[in-house]
């Protein structure tokens, strides 16, 4: 368990650091207020987790430890959006269907948005 925590921690550190660099670079290179840097990171993270989650684990493929480092660690630190999207693919592939996946997407986005608003309102009301 401790080894897994270290693998995820190292991957998260690298992924989070790279997220900051890429996001800032893209945002500085493109004028405007649209958060293109974050969008680029999210889409790139989805692409990478698709690759990492699909790599074979048998006959010379990657070990479960390397998969954990790359998916939960690196991609999780790079962007949790990639994990969110990968989980949706898993829901569909697992047989739970498009309806369950759509419900997960909608509920996550709606509740996440409301939670951000609630957190902001809490801070404003405490001032």
Structure tokens at 100: 């369950």
CB 97 within 8 A of CB 113: no
DSSP type of residue 33: S
Q: Between the CA of residue 43 and those of 32, 51, 71, 80, 124, what are the distances in Å?
A: 19, 13, 15, 11, 33
90 annotated to bind ligand:
no
Residues 6+ away with beta carbon under 8 Å from 124: none
Q: How many CB atoms lie within 10 A of CB 2?
A: 6
What is the enclosing helix (H) or strand (E) of 12? helix 2-29
79 annotated to bind ligand:
yes
Annotated binding site: 76, 79
Annotated binding site for Na(+): 76, 79
């Amino acid at each position: 368990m401790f080894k897994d925590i270290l693998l995820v921690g190292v991957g998260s550190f690298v992924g989070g650091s790279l997220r900051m660099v890429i996001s800032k670079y893209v945002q500085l290179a493109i004028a405007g207020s649209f958060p293109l840097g974050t969008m680029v990171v999210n889409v790139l993270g989805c692409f990478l987790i698709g690759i990492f989650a699909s790599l074979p684990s048998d006959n010379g493929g990657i070990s479960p430890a390397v998969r954990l480092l790359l998916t939960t660690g690196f991609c999780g630190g790079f962007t949790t959006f990639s994990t969110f999207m990968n989980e949706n693919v898993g829901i569909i592939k697992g047989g739970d269907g498009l309806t369950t996946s759509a419900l997960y997407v909608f509920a996550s986005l709606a509740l996440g948005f409301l939670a951000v608003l609630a957190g902001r309102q809490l801070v404003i009301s405490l001032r």
